[in-house]
Amino acid sequence: MGTEFRISLETRITQNMVMTPRLQQAIKLLQLNHMEMMQHVQEAMLENPTIEIVPDSAGAEPDGERELRQRAEKTTKEDLVEQRNGQEGSVDWEKFLDQMQDRGPRLHGVTGGTIHEDLPPIETNLTYGESLADHLLFQLHMIRCGVDERRAAESIAHNLDEKGYLAVPLEDIATDADVDLEVAEEALELVQGLDPLGCGARNLSECLIIQARVHPDLQADDNFVLILRDHLANLERRNYAAIARDLGLELEDVIEYHKMIHVLEPLPGRGFTGEDPRYITPDIYVVQRQGEWVVLLNEDGMPDLRISRYYQKILKEAAKPDREYLLDKLRGAEFLIKAIHRRRKTIRDVMESILKFQRDFFDHGEGRLRPLVLQDVASDVGVHMSTVSRATTNKYVDTPHGIKELKFFFSAAVKQQTGGDMAAEAIKSRIKTLVGEEDTKKPLSDQAIANALKNDGIRVARRTVAKYREAMGILPSSKRKQMF
C-alpha cells in the first residue's frame, strides 16, 4: 500500500516577539553603565545632527566652566576696547587678511599656524608603561655578547609570561632564533642575570634559586637551595619536621630558612604587566538625608538632550529626499531621548526596590544582607525579570559600606535550622571577619569556623564553610598558620 502525500494551505495565528532595531537599542541602553552611556550619547550626537544639548543642563557646562567662560568673554571685550581705543569697527579686516596671505604658506597646514606650531606633536610627550620585554631588551643592548646569543636572548625576552617565567620550551627558542641548544642555554643564563632577578625561570623553584644565589641580604647555602628545589610543597604545608628529617637539620633551622624566603620575589614580572588600572565610576549613590535613605543617579557629565528646533523648522521647507532623511533623524532623536528617560526611571526604581529589601544592609553592613532574587525585585517594580537583570549588569552603587556592584545585593538563601533563611553573602562576610580576627599561630579550621558561626546563630556545615572560604580565596588553616 503506497503512502499518499498531499499539499495544503493552512492559516495559523501565532504570537512572536519581533526585536525591532529600536527595541534592541532600548535594551542596549539599559545595560550600559554611566561611562558607557556618556560615550553612547556623544556618538549619537555626532551621527544625528537633530540632537542637541539643553543649555545649562547637567554636564553641558558646569558652574566652574561657566564662570571661567564669562570671565574670559569679559577679558576679551576689554582687550578689544583697549586695542580700538574705545572705537568700534576700527579694524580693517580685509587689509588684515591680505597681510596674512602675503606671509606665504605655512609648513603646518593651509589655515595658518599657532604660537605652538614649532613644538613637537603631543604624542612625543606622552609616556607609556614599560613592558617587561622592553626592560630586558634595553639591558641586553648594554651587554656585549655574540650575535647568536643576543638573538636567542631577545627571543626569550619576548616569550616570557606575565609572571616573568619562560613560557615555551628552550628547544623552541633555539629553533625560533636559529641557534644551537647550547647557545640558547647560554642566552637563558644571560637573561636570568638581568633585572629583575628570576626572569626567564621555568618554574617557581628555579625563580627563587636564581634570586637566592645573588641576593645581597641572604647567605644562601646548599641546604637552602635544596629546600627551594625539593621542599616547597612541605613549606607550603608548614611541614617543617619532614624537611628537617630529610636534610638532617634542626627544626629551628628550617624555620629560619623559611623566614629567608620571604625576601624573595615569586613573580618577578608582576611590576611589568602593562595592565591599566580599572577605575569604577558609581552609577548610583545611596545617601542618608534627615534619617532617610535616598537614591541619587549619577548624572555627572550627562547632559539633558532635546530635539533641535532649527531642524524642526527647516523640515517644513525641505525637499522630499531631504525631508525623509530629516524625519528619520528626528524620529531617532525622539526615541533616544525617551529611551534615556525610561532607562533612568528603571534604574532608579530597581535601586529603590533593592534599598527596600536590603534596608538592614544600609543600616548595619554586610552581615545583615538578606536573601534576594531577581524575581523579588521584578515583582515589586512591575517589570520582567530580564529587565532587572539588565538594569543591574555592570553597574555600581556608592554606599556607606563601600562601592558595590548591584549584583552583590542578590544572594541565595541558606536554610537555617531555626527555620529562617540567611543570605550566602552575609555568611561569607562573617567568615571573612572570623579569619581576620583569628590567631595567626593557631588559625581556625573549617570546623572551628562552623562552630563559631553556630554560636552566632548561623548553622552551616563544615563543607559549606570550606566552599565559601575557597570562593573568597582564603587559604585553609594549614596554609594560614604562621610560625614567626
Q: What is the rounded average pLDDT of the residues 74-78?
A: 48
Mean pLDDT of all residues in 21-42: 84
pLDDT of amino acid 15: 65
Give residue for cell 517644513.
Answer: 316
Give the pLDDT confidence score for residue 63 in this predicted structure.
Answer: 44
One-letter amino acid for residue 117 of the chain:
E
Q: Does residue 268 carry a pLDDT above 70?
A: yes
100, 171, 198, 266 from 210: Cα distances, Å: 68, 21, 6, 11
What's the pLDDT at 286? 94
The mean pLDDT value for 55-81 works out to 50
Position 100 pLDDT exceeds 50: no
Please check the confidence at residue 8 and state whether its pLDDT lies above 90: no
Is the pLDDT at 60 greater than 50? The verdict is no
Give the range among 56-70, 377-391, 438-452 with minimum mean pLDDT.
Answer: 56-70
Domain ranges of the chain: 132-272, 284-409, 420-480
61 vs 399: which has the higher pLDDT? 399
* Res 156: pLDDT: 94
Task: Quote the cell numbers at residue 315.
Answer: 523640515
Question: For 324, which DSSP code?
Answer: H
Cα separations (Å) of 298 from 35, 175, 225, 282, 353? 10, 56, 56, 7, 18
Q: What is the pLDDT of residue 130?
A: 75
Report how far residue 282's alpha carbon sits from residue 206's, in angstroms, rounded to the nearest whole number. Answer: 44
Q: Over 60: is that where the pLDDT of 458 sits?
A: yes
Q: Given this model, what pLDDT does residue 341 score?
A: 92
**pLDDT (tens digit, 9 = 90+) per residue, 430-455?**
888 888 888 888 888 888 888 888 88
pLDDT of residue 148: 92
pLDDT in the model for residue 282:
92
Residue 229: predicted pLDDT: 92
Select the more confidently predicted residue: 305 or 483: 305
Question: Residue 115: its pLDDT value, please?
Answer: 42
Share of the chain above pLDDT 90, in %: 31
Predicted confidence at residue 419, as pLDDT, reads: 54
Q: State mean pLDDT over 156-183.
A: 92
Output the pLDDT for position 7. Answer: 77
As a whole number of angstroms, the distance between CA 383 and CA 377 comes to 9
State the pLDDT confidence band at 277, using cuts at 50, 70 and 90.
low
Class of CATH domain 420-480: mainly alpha
**Mean per-residue pLDDT for 237-253?**
90
Identity of residue 410: F
The per-residue pLDDT of the chain, averaged, comes to 80
8-29 b/e with 16+ CB inside 10 Å = b? eeeeeeeeeeeeeeeeebbeeb
Cβ atoms 284, 295 nearer than 8 A:
yes
Percent of the chain with pLDDT over 70: 79
Return d(Cα 269, Cα 227) in angstroms, integer.
23
Q: Is the pLDDT of residue 166 over 80?
A: yes
Mean pLDDT of 235-254: 89
The predicted pLDDT at position 205 comes to: 93
Among 60-74, 182-196, 364-378, the minimum mean pLDDT is found in: 60-74
Q: How confident is the model at residue 417 (pLDDT cuts 50, 70, 90)?
A: low
427 vs 219, higher pLDDT? 427
Residue 109 phi, psi dihedral angles, 5° rounding: 120, 160
Quote the pLDDT of residue 452: 86
- Whole-model pTM: value is 0.61
Judged against a pLDDT cut of 60, whether residue 349 lies above it is answered with yes
Is the model's pLDDT at 92 over the cut of 70? Answer: no
pLDDT band at residue 358, thresholds of 50, 70 and 90? very high
* Confidence (pLDDT) at 88: 42
Residue 3: per-residue pLDDT: 61
Residue 70: pLDDT band with limits 50, 70, 90:
low
When comparing pLDDT for 173 and 280, which is higher? 173
pLDDT-based confidence at residue 29 (cuts at 50, 70, 90):
confident
Whether the pLDDT of residue 314 is over 60: the answer is yes
User: Between 160 and 10, whose confidence is greater?
Assistant: 160
Instruction: Dig out the grid coordinates for 59 from the structure.
Output: 554636564
Burial of 129 (0-12, 13-18, 19+ CB in 10 A): exposed
| Confidence class for position 131, pLDDT limits 50, 70, 90 | confident
Q: Which range has the worst mean pLDDT, 114-118, 139-143, 267-271, 300-304?
A: 114-118
Cell of 169: 620550551
Instruction: For 179-195, write each residue's pLDDT tens digit.
Output: 999 999 999 999 999 99
- Output the nine-digit C-alpha cell for 145: 655578547
C-alpha span between 413 and 424 (Å, rounded): 6
